[in-house]
Amino acid sequence: MTSDERPTSPDRDLEEPALHLDLKGLKCPLPVIRTRKRMASLGPGARVLVETTDPLAVIDIPHFCNEDGHRLERQTATERGHSFLIRKGSA
């Protein structure tokens, strides 16, 4: 293993999100506002799956994660929009 390789854990991807937010149909800025509000009650390290049809979410959700100290673990294009897997930061 080189210094650039990191071991992966198959269990990490199987870990269920603590919260699933179906925000399809909402437009900017509502997906971020609702995600921020719901994540406030979760503990650090909790995973949240967000689904949205808002085309601006591909900009807004990563920016929200960066600004609030969360980690965007996965961003996926779907048939109807995008899904985002977020791990809550310690702040």
Question: For the segment 44-57, what is each residue's pLDDT rounded down to a tens digit?
Answer: 999 999 999 999 99
> pLDDT class for 12, splitting at 50, 70, 90?
low
> pLDDT class for 24, splitting at 50, 70, 90?
very high
* Alpha-helical regions (H) of the chain: 10-14, 30-39, 57-68
Q: Give residue limits of the domains in the chain.
A: 13-87
In CATH, the architecture of 13-87 is: 2-Layer Sandwich (3.30)
Phi and psi for 9 in degrees, rounded to 5?
-110, 120
> pLDDT class for 28, splitting at 50, 70, 90?
very high
* CA atoms 66, 13, 55, 27: torsion sign: negative
